[in-house]
Structures are given as structure tokens and as C-alpha cells.
Amino acid sequence: TQLLEQSPQFLSIQEGENLTVYCNSSSVFSSLQWYRQEPGEGPVLLVTVVTGGEVKKLKRLTFQFGDARKDSSLHITAAQTGDTGLYLCAPRMDRKLIWGLGTSLAVNP
């Protein structure tokens, strides 16, 4: 049984479109991080959310932590080609980071 599920697994869209990716679990987390990984690079932290229901914005990216701290979403408005990459959800449980398989996003010009 997979502890953490990210969806969709793959997403290919045109520049200018909006999109939402999801991170779901049946477990409760103390906090949750989102990372973006570009080809040939290591993951880079985008945001950390700690409080249930918390919403954080990073330019065109909006992150939400579920009220029950079991899930999270990432919404991108007016996607750009520079948003292309693997988006990884990493919640913290029992003082350890749990990693999802990620959503691979391709934004086409």
C-alpha cells in the first residue's frame, strides 16, 4: 500500500494554461514541503506548509495544505515553459520526510 500518492503522474500543457497537481494520503502529517526538480538537477525547495488549511503563494504558484493535514495541492496560473519539471511532494511524518513519485510537468510553447 503506497503511503503517498501524487496525481497526475504526467501532465503536458500549453503555455498560458492553468493546472493543479495533487498530493494525497490517508496519514496525518506534521508539515509538508513541495520541491521542483529540473532534468539533470537535484530537487529545490519551493515551499513548506505547516498549518492545516494554510495557503501560500509564490508568484504564480499557490500551495494549499488540507484542513486535516493529509493532503496538499499546487496550482499554477498561466504556466510558462520555465515551470517544466518534476514536482515532488514531501510531507514529514515521525520526523522523516516521505517522498512522492512526483508529477512530471511539461509546458509547451
Q: Footprint of other proteins on this chain (CB under 8 A)?
A: 30-31, 33, 40-45, 48, 50, 88, 92, 95-97, 99-102
Residue placing its CB nearer to other proteins in the complex, 66 or 79:
66
Instruction: Please state the closest distance from residue 104 (CB atom) to other proteins, in A.
Output: 10
Residue placing its CB nearer to other proteins in the complex, 18 or 30:
30
Instruction: Please state the closest distance from residue 44 (CB atom) to other proteins, in A.
Output: 7
Q: Which three cell numbers stand for residue 101?
A: 513519485
Measured at the CA of 108, the angle between CA 23 and CA 7, to 5 degrees, comes to 15
**HSE toward the beta carbon, residue 108, CA cutoff 13 A:** 4
Instruction: Please state the closest distance from residue 3 (CB atom) to other proteins, in A.
Output: 11
Q: How far is CA 6 from CA 27, 34, 59, 62, 93, in A?
A: 14, 11, 22, 16, 17
Q: Are strands 103-108 and 10-14 parallel, antiparallel or unpaired?
A: parallel
Residue placing its CB nearer to other proteins in the complex, 16 or 52:
52
Instruction: Please state the closest distance from residue 15 (CB atom) to other proteins, in A.
Output: 26
Residue placing its CB nearer to other proteins in the complex, 19 or 101:
101
Rounded Cα–Cα distance for residues 13 and 11 (Å): 7
